[in-house]
Amino acid sequence: MKLNEYKDIIKQAIANEVEAKKFYDDAANTLKDPHLKKLFASLAEEEKKHRDILTKIYSSNTMDRYFSESRDYKVAETMDEPELSMAMKPADAFALAMKKEEAAMKQYTEMAEMCDDDDKRQVFFDLAAMERDHKLKMESAFIDIGYPEVW
């Protein structure tokens, strides 16, 4: 894989993070509950951090491995994606967030599996690992809020 091909992949990943940040910002502006507004604002900030990391990777002009998270609780896979609503409960907010991260993780995984180039495949798997890590955080928060008996 050539550096320009690698950079094209990272550039698209940056665009995906910008889109995710916009979703979370819009959600924060839609919701009335101050705790959920704060939650979605913090999720938007996480996506901004991902964008910043990817921007540094893009600017580095190197093709290194940056992400390798392998843990996956698979909680998101057991749920339907809730609708964003002003009456949303905190557990539903985390469920929505983890479903969004699951979708991003699956998208990168599918891209990796369709890729003929081993180097490109690894980049997509690395990006899936980045999303898996964020999904893991959302799943942990969902379990904490949705199942307080585990505290």
Instruction: Please state the domain count of the chain.
Output: 1
pLDDT of amino acid 146: 63
pLDDT of amino acid 60: 86
- CA 67, CA 140: separation in Å to the nearest integer? 19
For the chain, give the number of residues.
151
Nearest of 132, 124, 125, 126 to residue 5 by alpha carbon: 124
Strand, coil or helix: 86: coil
pLDDT of amino acid 150: 46
What would the pLDDT profile of 116-127 be if each residue is shown by its tens digit?
Answer: 888 888 888 988
Helices (DSSP H) in 61-117: which residue ranges? 90-114
**Residues 54/13, Cβ–Cβ less than 8 Å:** yes
User: Which tokens go with 84?
Assistant: 């964003």
User: Bigger pLDDT: 19 or 79?
Assistant: 19
Nearest of 97, 94, 93, 98 to residue 77 by alpha carbon: 98
Range of the structural domain that residue 129 is part of = 3-150
Provide the whole-model pTM.
0.76
**Residues 132/108, Cβ–Cβ less than 8 Å:** no
Distances, alpha carbon 151 to alpha carbons 5, 37, 39, in Å: 46, 24, 20
Residue 67 gets the label, from left (phi > 0), alpha (psi -120 to 50) or beta, of beta
What would the pLDDT profile of 19-56 be if each residue is shown by its tens digit?
Answer: 999 999 998 998 888 888 888 898 899 899 989 989 98
CATH number at residue 25: 1.20.1260.10
